[in-house]
Amino acid sequence: MREYRIGTRESRLAMWQADWVAGRLKDLQPGIKVSLVGIRTKGDNILDAALSKIGDKGLFTRELEAALLNDQVDMAVHSMKDLPTGLPEGLVLGAVCRREYPGDVLVSRRGSKLADLRPGAVVGTSSLRRIAQLKRFRPDLATVDVRGNLNTRLRKLDDQDLDALVLAYAGMVRLGYRDRITEMIPFEVCLPAVGQGSIGVEARADDREILELLDRLDHGPSRKAVTAERSLMRALEGGCQIPVGALALVDGDEIVLEAMVADLDGGSMVRMSMSGPAGDPGGLGRRLAEGMMARGAGEILKKVRQEFDVRVK
């Protein structure tokens, strides 16, 4: 019997996600053999620089995709927010798993909510998307780059002079830290990253056996929502280190997609929503992107890239 090799990053969260996928596959096809293959990515190896300073295309996925193409693994498990909108030739997204709640949360040292943090409070996050929206809501907040796995970031909150962290709800819950959450940050304040909360499984386009199995793991509403968000991102030509947030919600035969583009300090922002048929999530994403560009999103993104180039240099 064929053994299915699952490629994954080696972080605790990534291994949890890959193990979860392995468990679901065993449920779908009892008796199959599944093994996890840990692979270090560029993003895992560079921990002394902000992600935004080392590029964002495939930071946490490129090595996994190379292993797929070289037949070292049979599928690769990703956090969908890390997966670039364009996949390498020969690879496809075989499954988008049922999405966890996609929002961000506040973890504060003294139990304060975002609105109640002291003036000038120091918040740890490595996401330009989060920084822009936090500063839009609370311009007085100071932000510092905090990288590393979830355990490391929580330890830094306890050990360093930080007032709070902003993290993804999904990771906190998956690793058993629900009790550390101080506040579920409202979507009105902070839209999530494209694909946040969903696990994706990538496979070779010509591996019919794997694709047939993954098709049973795929969750239709989650795929439609994530497809709408990724279509918007692709049309905006944004990456995961550009201040773009989006959230698609499927309601029967309709999808409602809301998105924002902001400059680095949140001073300028275009935020819009649009609905469309659930059967055409890609078209909805493109149409909303066009509407946002018409309202000035393109100028904001151009400004962000120019400012960012200067900061990196």
Catalytic positions, please?
82
CA distance to 93, 248, 278, 287, per residue, from 284 (Å): 20, 10, 9, 5
Q: Are 134 and 190 in contact (CB under 8 A)?
A: yes
User: From CA 13, how far away is CA 264, in angstroms rounded?
Assistant: 28
Dihedral Cα 284, 290, 296, 298, nearest 10 deg: 110
Burial of 23 per CB tally in 10 Å (0-12, 13-18, 19+): exposed
Q: Return the closest-CA partner of residue 246 out of 267, 235, 232, 263.
A: 232
Q: Tokens representing 83?
A: 């997966």
φ, ψ at 307 (rounded to 5°): -65, -40
**Helix, strand, or coil (residue 251):** strand
Q: In sequence order, what are the residues at sequence separation of 6 or more whose Cβ sits closer than 8 angstroms to the Cβ of residue 70?
A: none
Burial of 67 per CB tally in 10 Å (0-12, 13-18, 19+): middle
Q: Are 143 and 125 in contact (CB under 8 A)?
A: yes
**Residues 77, 83, 85, 91: is their CA dihedral positive or negative?**
negative
Strand partners, 144: 124
